[in-house]
Chains A and B, each alone.
Chain A
Amino acid sequence: MFYKLPRFNYYRVTSLNEALKLVNELEDFKVVAGGTDLVMDLKIKRYIPKNIIDISRVKELDYIVDEGDKIRIGALTRLQEIVDSPIIREKAYVLAEAVNQMASWQIRNMATIGGNLCNASPAADTAPPLYVLNAELKLVSVEGERIVPVTKFFHGPRKTELKKNELLAEIIIPVEKDAGASAIKLGRRNAFTLSIVAVATLVKVSDNKFADVRVALNSVAPTPVRAPSVEKALIGKEVSLEAVEEASKLVVNDIKPISDVRASADYRREMSIVLTRDSLLRSLERIGLKLGGEE
């Protein structure tokens, strides 16, 4: 009643082909999946599209499939389904862990993983876990499909790799063996809040040396980011609390936080270090390496 949404033409599709045809033909449109972000953006007039394409009933994009060495998630999979999925919990727990800290149950029942990615908020909470899982995205159009790494998907706030006639169809997650991963979010309260910073990390260790390290953050740059400085500093190093703490400090080289109503840039910078540290320690703990540091 109090927020006047712009007038638009509404198109509902039930198959991916229909959807692709429409995005190919129409100009000036927005795609609605769960709607939890888009309807808000329409309310605050961030977008005033002429057309809305409702893809929420494209059932063929709602799935979680375990293919052994990879998991495929349809872009229209609801966030709560990801939290509840035994497949995700077993093979990509860090994603379930991050998604469970997103929004509220009511929102997770509507919002989709594809929607969270395509909305391209700097605070997208599905991004850090997908970054550290080296996930890939399948983008489709009437012309065909292409696969892009999730780290190449975000171009800026609300800007993505998607061409005008493309849709995100699937998220492909390689299953990591012997890796520890974790996701931590810091907000202004304990629940249901936008991130001040969120971090996900993934580590592999062999011979007590870091064999692989992946660190990703949101809310500290125009897009979610990986933290190569931290990763490079650790790979090949002996696993120790000191190494983790020293390397975590380097995260400031990989981020460009701003001040806004939620937090100052300084605080975000400092918290990026703390959360990176905490998440790395937790990830190590998940592969049986408890280094302390929680004194």
Chain B
Amino acid sequence: MALVEDPYALLEKWLKAREFIVVGKGIERADAFDKAIGKARFVEDYFDKGVLFVKQVLSEEPHAILEGIDYSEALKIPKVVGVFTAQDIPGENQVGYALPDQPLLAEGKVRFHAEPIALVAAEDIDAAFEAVERVKVKYKPLPVILDPLEAMNRTDVLVHEENGSNIAFRTKVRKGNVEEGFAKSDVIVENEYRTHHQDHLYLETEGALAIPDFEGRITVITAAQYPHLAQSIVARVLGIPMSKVKIVIPYLGGGFGGKDDEGPLVAAKAALVAYKTGKPAFLMYTREESLRIHPKREATIIHYKSGATKDGKLMAIEVKIIHDTGAYTNRGPFILWRASVHASGPYYVPHAKVDGYCVYTNKFPQGSFRGFGNPSVQFAAEAQMDELAKKLGMDPVDFRLKNLLRPGQTTITNQLLDHSVGIAEAVEKLAKKMGWWEKRKAFTEYNKRSKRYKRGIGIGVAWHGISTSRGVPDWSNAYIKIDKDGSVTVYTGIMEMGQGSPNSSHRQIVAEVLGAPLDVIKIVFGTTDAPDTGATHASRGTSIGAIGVLVAAAKIRERLNKLAAELLNARPDDIVIANGKVYVRGNESKSMTWQELIKQAYARGVDVSATGYFFLPKGKFDDAKGQGYAYPAYSYVAVAVEVEVDTYTGRVRVLKAYPALAAGRIINPVQVEGQMEGAIAQGLGYVLMEQFVFDEKGRVLNADMTDYVVPTALDVPVVEKPVYVEDLFKYGPFGAKGVGEMALIPVPAAISNAVSHALGIRVTRLPLTPENVYFMIKKK
């Protein structure tokens, strides 16, 4: 009998599993103990004596021609080893991810305040600080443009002259005929929404240590989210082959997308110094630099018109999305694409027209952040849903249930969703479990009696495409080897930033598929020594990253079953391997240990190593019309919250949050809860307190943790246990879809809808700081 090696067949086989050894259980993470006792190592922990200390020279102007950089005085400091500018880059200075518009170090002009211009390297920290002070940059200031609406309409001031416009990128979605859709609508709601920037505020700032190696090789220990991307950027900047660059990503003190953007750039800066000096070089952003430099969650202006019939069917949406992408597009076009194709929310809408604009301004770039363009557009979409429901005299949940996507329906890109669409069931279960209808009524009654404190309950429902959008290729990969003693090593490019996929779900999947005991499984993650697995972003660590892990493990398992069948004189299909015990189904006396089996494999010529490569099948997508196959699958989420507003001060307290998730198989419920709770807190911070304050020149006035405030333990609500609908995804490992970003996405919608319910005023603008809420009430 031929062994099954086809990944589709292997995925399908394991998708059918109904009984599990470790999958679905709250297994403790492999890294938790080391992290608890402080043994886990982060980038800065590798910095030691003898390593060059690198500091950045940052632009003092938001928009200016660079007329000269004079660092002769800096070089006079004895311990200063060198100063490096764009001129010194041996390869390419161009590091833009989506469009070739971004230099590693400013060249010709600067486009935002604090843009990196030069790198100073010194043998000690003090010398590096002093040298930065002595670098004299000559600027010829240009007019500054900060408002994206103004930027769109001006061509006399251009952030990028070569582009001829401040509109960097456009997207379009055209489904059906919106004129017809609105004509058939009985109610129409039209509003403009605004959302603001958010910083990731991972507790560990960006950093990298680059070590020049033998034979012109370079190793970079860096805080990035995709080792192979960091590898390619470093290689490009240095002008050397990727094979000469090795990336090691140790534990990360949080990522949330931010280190996917900035990680490769920090790595390249440290690598540049190491390459030019031949010495190990270390660069770490200060908190202030981190706040000023790295790309942020998009700030948006969203104009949204939607219509529905009187029996509560959504008919049409017309949406204009403007993203303030700042000085560079970074991943802006991808973010805008995601926002555009998700603009409807997870609802069936026959007629849709979406126009997206990614607009340059003289601010820090927009970038990847948990939700990736989606929290802002779901905020707008869900506000529209509440307003339509209000006009129709319907309950917000009832109205949603009439329109939520179900299997067999199409999205606004006209993609047919043939399976894995569990959101309607999830919302219904959630509403019943939390007593939505009763609470909504009770709060409305309470508000009639209460003058000062008003209570509200609101829901946000969202969807999020898994993997890259449209036809952009995506794949998974992993390499597994089993040593003679039975210990299993998995090599993956997925890294560990707290989300836990390598240290929880990957291990569980391997233990499940191989039947090896958990404690012999070791995951080597975040390294270019592993095959390119894609990035740890877009909630793909498990959903996509672990496909390769499952396929590799399944291939080995096929071989082991065949071997065990021979040894135990049974049929391969009857072999059970679980928790390190190998036996014949129904006859446990015919058995052997995992270690014996592996020993036999070595003795009998059975390969116990395998690569699990899987290329995600994708359909066609027409960029001009925004129609076609947008994502292989979608994860779905709903969060409902209860709030209390002190109308005298404007302070909003979120009392309780109720999440529901339709993200396929839940591999580790404890870790999933952790993701949900953390995402809700991060979303709450975004809505209630986090914001950047700029001056008239676009300088950030609150670039520290004193004035960029994030939630403490006293600010977060109780998060109830999530409601799960395991709507299995056929290519996901055991049917899993993405989780990490999910619960943040509907939080702006949920909180603002709850506040709107409490106050009877439609929230259209974030953040809901006490001050903003207070004046919103006062205006009414």
| Contact present for B125 and A1 (CB under 8 Å) | yes
Segment with Cβ contacts to A, from B90-98, B475-483, B702-710: B702-710
Decide if B693 is an interface residue (CB 8 Å cutoff).
yes
A267 to B771, CA, bound (A): 6
**Binary A-proximity of B429-469 (CB < 8 A = 1, otherwise 0):** 00000000000000000000111100000000000000000
| Contact present for A4 and B129 (CB under 8 Å) | yes
Decide if B286 is an interface residue (CB 8 Å cutoff).
yes
Nearest residue (CB) in B for A274 is B648
A1 to B770, CA, bound (A): 36
A82 to B451, CA, bound (A): 37
**Binary A-proximity of B553-564 (CB < 8 A = 1, otherwise 0):** 000000000000
Chain B residues within an 8 Å CB radius of A274: 648-649
Smallest CB separation, B746 vs chain A (Å): 22
| Contact present for B715 and A261 (CB under 8 Å) | no
Decide if B689 is an interface residue (CB 8 Å cutoff).
yes
Chain A residues within an 8 Å CB radius of B688: 189
| Contact present for B714 and A190 (CB under 8 Å) | yes
Chain B residues within an 8 Å CB radius of A295: 449-452
Smallest CB separation, B777 vs chain A (Å): 11
Decide if B37 is an interface residue (CB 8 Å cutoff).
no
User: Quick one: given A261-B702, A274-B648, are A191 and B770 in contact (CB under 8 Å)?
Assistant: no
| Contact present for A270 and B126 (CB under 8 Å) | no
Interface residues of A (CB under 8 A from B): 1-4, 186, 188-194, 196, 261-264, 266-267, 270-271, 274-275, 278, 294-295
Decide if B701 is an interface residue (CB 8 Å cutoff).
yes
**Binary A-proximity of B280-318 (CB < 8 A = 1, otherwise 0):** 000010110000000000000000000000000000000
Given A4-B129, A191-B713, A196-B771, 6 additional A-B pairs, CB 8 A: A4-B125, A186-B770, A189-B710, A191-B715, A194-B706, A267-B771
- Which residues B680-729 have CB closer than 8 A to chain A? 688-689, 693, 701-702, 706-707, 709-715
Q: 23 A–B contact pairs at CB < 8 A?
A: A2-B284, A2-B286, A2-B287, A4-B125, A186-B649, A186-B770, A188-B689, A188-B709, A188-B770, A189-B688, A189-B712, A189-B714, A190-B714, A191-B714, A194-B706, A194-B707, A261-B702, A267-B771, A267-B774, A270-B774, A271-B774, A278-B648, A295-B452
Interface of A is mostly: loop
A3 to B452, CA, bound (A): 45
Smallest CB separation, A87 vs chain B (Å): 27
Chain A residues within an 8 Å CB radius of B185: none
| Contact present for A189 and B649 (CB under 8 Å) | no
| Contact present for B707 and A262 (CB under 8 Å) | yes
User: Which of B649, B706, B709, B712 touches A271 (beta carbons < 8 Å)?
Assistant: B649
A294 to B453, CA, bound (A): 8
Smallest CB separation, B245 vs chain A (Å): 27
Interface centre among A4, A261, A278 (most CB of B within 10 A): A261
Smallest CB separation, A267 vs chain B (Å): 4
A1 to B54, CA, bound (A): 12
Chain A residues within an 8 Å CB radius of B449: 295
User: Which of B126, B712, B771 touches A191 (beta carbons < 8 Å)?
Assistant: B712
Decide if B33 is an interface residue (CB 8 Å cutoff).
no
User: Quick one: given A188-B689, A270-B774, are A294 and B711 in contact (CB under 8 Å)?
Assistant: no
Smallest CB separation, A183 vs chain B (Å): 16
A181 to B769, CA, bound (A): 28
A192 to B715, CA, bound (A): 11
Chain B residues within an 8 Å CB radius of A193: 709
User: Quick one: given A1-B125, A194-B706, A294-B452, are A263 and B711 in contact (CB under 8 Å)?
Assistant: no
A194 to B708, CA, bound (A): 11
A193 to B769, CA, bound (A): 14
A210 to B706, CA, bound (A): 40
| Contact present for B770 and A4 (CB under 8 Å) | no
Decide if B775 is an interface residue (CB 8 Å cutoff).
yes
A266 to B775, CA, bound (A): 10
A189 to B714, CA, bound (A): 8
A263 to B451, CA, bound (A): 25
User: Quick one: given A271-B649, A294-B452, A295-B450, are A190 and B774 in contact (CB under 8 Å)?
Assistant: no
| Contact present for A189 and B707 (CB under 8 Å) | no
User: Which of A3, A261, A278 touches B693 (beta carbons < 8 Å)?
Assistant: A261
Chain B residues within an 8 Å CB radius of A191: 712-715
Chain A residues within an 8 Å CB radius of B452: 294-295
Nearest residue (CB) in A for B648 is A274
| Contact present for A189 and B706 (CB under 8 Å) | no
Chain B residues within an 8 Å CB radius of A186: 649, 651, 770
